[in-house]
Amino acid sequence: MALVVAASIAAATSYSTISTDLNISVIVVGCLLLGLLAALRLVPRAPSPSSIVVAVLIGLVPQLFWPPSGNVELGPLFHLATGLGMLAGGLLILSLPLARRRAGLALLAFGAMAAATVLVVQSSGHPAIDVWLILQQSTRALLHGANPYKLHFSGIPAGQTNDCFNYLPFTFLGAVPGRVLLGDVRYAELAFLLVGVGMLARALRCPPATGDSAARGGAAASLALPLVVLALSLPGVLRVAQQSWNESVILGCLAAAVALVVWGRAWWAVVPLGLALATKQHVVLVLPLWALWKGFGPRRALAAAGLAAAICLPWLLAAPGRFYGCTVRFFIDLPARQDSLSVWNLIPGGLQTATVLALIAAGYLLAVRLLDRPVSGLVFGCGLLFAAFDLANKQSFENQWVLACQLLVLGLACRAAEAARVAPPPTGAERRPAPRPEGADVP
């Protein structure tokens, strides 16, 4: 159920990137279902192959009929890019009944989707959107010694932001290699996405189960990799890459952090988590969940926050007024949008802010209930919390919803891998040492 809900929200917000009766209804009903499942502790659970097929089919509909073709100069390889994205979904469906070939087909699907994201950037020139233009100009100015937070930007479409760089500094710092090597910041963002998700795919791949007693666990494990690829191929992912939204960087960093935790390197996970925190402001919402989860803990969470603060501090000291104004005050004063994919405009004026805070509090209450589980509870809880925030935020759009849905799917992928690692009680010659718990690199 949770997988189908996540795919439906991603599809609804991709079919129309602005508010309609249909996508708002899907979002509201979907979030209510997710909340109910979390309250009853029915998530995260390893999905069945049939639910994965349904989720893929739901996602293919908007990819087929509403590809990301707006506000860009389309090149000759655009249709190949979208075709490869749909091929990834087809390969995932094909992999499910073929248990022995499932991992290989899922890896082919990963490769198809990776190629699709690269080609959609290559074939989508000069997006007429403030995010890409601001990033391009900020990285160029940074290379010439200028402070992006002091810039005013040119060529921005009417009605979009042209007087502030309104994200945190790792957004442009991480994008510099793409600007230098290939002339486009989007390639660096893709590198974070593909490397991070690739690390998690590798971390969740379990060795084939042996013996009748492990058969059920082995079947669950073989679904983990297709689910990771499904998270990468949800509708909206190509548009996020194409438009240069920094959710690609955030997901890549969070996926890398989860992979390191799964590998028992929880202190190393501090670095990608800190980079995610230094990319976009509302990522800080998930930091308490990482602090409360016993496999990570408050010391590592504090270290990740310290790394993010260290990245931000030089820019704050260089221009405190501009940094605060662009990264904090900008969002406080930001007017609500009538086309926001949220319920903000449906709430009476005096209750809007209170509703946002109430939904975030409810998201925390539900997510914390999942933290007594392995890493799947943490990842799913992060997606649940972002969904609660997006539901009432005054400007929520496709990119925010795609990130929330991707984390929900990755949480289910982690659960599938965990189910496979639950071995039967050892007897006689089959006894083995107990596996190291996650985060066991610390006394």
In a domain, 431, yes or no: no
- What pLDDT score does 19 carry? 85
125-137 per-position pLDDT tens digit: 999 999 999 999 9
Alpha carbon distance 74, 127 (integer Å) = 10
In a domain, 237, yes or no: yes
- What pLDDT score does 132 carry? 97
Token pair for 350: 């005096």
Domain count, the chain: 1
In a domain, 236, yes or no: yes
Token pair for 132: 């890409």
162-201 per-position pLDDT tens digit: 999 999 999 999 999 999 999 999 999 999 999 999 999 9
Scan for tokens 């209510």, then name that residue. 32
- What pLDDT score does 350 carry? 84
In a domain, 433, yes or no: no
CB 317 within 8 A of CB 310: no
Average pLDDT in the chain: 91
- What does the longest C-alpha to C-alpha distance in the chain come to? 73
In a domain, 426, yes or no: no
In a domain, 379, yes or no: yes
In a domain, 91, yes or no: yes
Structural domain boundaries, residue 92: 2-420
- What pLDDT score does 67 carry? 93
- What pLDDT score does 218 carry? 55
Residue spans of the chain under pLDDT 50: 207-215, 423-432, 438-443
In a domain, 122, yes or no: yes
